[in-house]
Amino acid sequence: MFKRIDRLQIDLPEPNKPDPEAAGVIQELLGGKFGEMSTLNNYLFQSFNFRSKKKLRPFYDIIANITAEELGHVELVANTINLNLDGSVGNGSTNPDDTPLAPVLGFDNKFNFIAGGQNALPVDSTGRPWSGDNVFSSGNLVNDLLHNFYLECGARTHKMRVYQMTDNETARELTGYLLVRGSTHAIAYAKALEEITGVNMMKMLPVPDLDNSKFKHAQKYEAKGIHRKIYRFSDNDYNLLDRIWKGPAPIGPEGQLEVVDELPEGGKIPDLDHVPEEYAPGFDEEQFRELSKRLQYEAGM
């Protein structure tokens, strides 16, 4: 089962101006074949389907624990998209005849404004829905780990490309952080494969062959040692992560790999204002006030 914490894994800065084009390409990191929906659901189903858990506990722990981190990545990417979309339409008018949504005609990612009310959706950068076809859960542990290694390398490639498409602070903060975390996952699966097969996977890393230190927004996280940590996303379980996650960091600044019990320091969940021309969430000030009175909570107005 899962317990939820109403925090993001990092603090996302607000963009200084709306960037709907950036939001459109970041959709690939959410609902694309190599996006966070895919890493999440691959590890989720592999953890459900894992056999001989008692005999292979450290490998089960790695896959199950990283699943929880990936769900937080889905959350982080969706919030980045929303922050970038915010304020990109509207002309101050709520009169439909003033065409307040006209700017959408010039965007590639119209789905964010038609199917969504100016918000993230589980689709790729072209609007194609995320699919269960993206899940590989073969039941064979080596094959699944090999797939996960490949998936993390592919995901890293896409993040590196999106990083180079936009320089807005929110997008860069996200991609810089995810580059570092994706690298730890690639290393974790590589180490798991090494333990089982004896093959030296580290010789292949990083894929693509370009250090995270070449990305300014990744440097900061490496300097803090985030590339050496696996967070244990559970109060009492997944206690054998350190049987695989140990030894010197194979890439990035030097230091020992460590399993940490504390969750990432994290940041607040953005609370974006209503968008009347999208009817999102669909109440005016008077109705907000009425509801908060009726349900007896402080609505902060």
CB of 31 to Mn ion, least distance (A): 13
CB nearer to Mn ion: pick between 101 and 151? 151
Termini Cα distance of the chain? 36
In the complex, the smallest distance separating the C-beta of residue 102 from Mn ion, rounded to whole angstroms, is 36
Nearer residue to Mn ion within complex by CB, 116 or 182:
182
> How big is the chain by its Cα radius of gyration, in Å?
21
Helix axes of 169-197 and 20-31: crossing angle, nearest 10 degrees = 20
Angle between helices 57-85 and 20-31 (to 10 degrees): 160
Residue 116, phi then psi, degrees to nearest 5: -105, 155
- Report in angstroms how near the CB of residue 48 gets to Mn ion at its nearest: 18
**What six digits make up the tokens of 299?**
């609505």
- What is the binding site for Mn ion (CB under 5 A)? 36, 39, 70, 73, 182, 185
19/70 with CB nearer Mn ion: 70
- Report yes or no: 85 and 111 within 8 Å, Cβ to Cβ: no
Count the neighbouring beta carbons within 10 Å of the beta carbon of residue 3. Answer: 8
How many other C-beta atoms lie within 10 A of the C-beta of residue 268?
A: 10
Minimum distance of Mn ion from residue 187's CB (angstroms): 11
Q: Between residues 39 and 41, which has the closer beta carbon with respect to Mn ion?
A: 39
- What's the closest the beta carbon of residue 284 comes to Mn ion, in angstroms? 38
Unique residue bearing structure tokens 């090494």: 194
The nearer residue to Mn ion, 107 or 150, going by C-beta atoms, is: 150
From CA 173, how far away is CA 271, in angstroms rounded? 18
182 or 252: CB nearest Mn ion: 182
Give every CB contact of residue 285 below 8 A, 6+ residues apart in sequence.
301
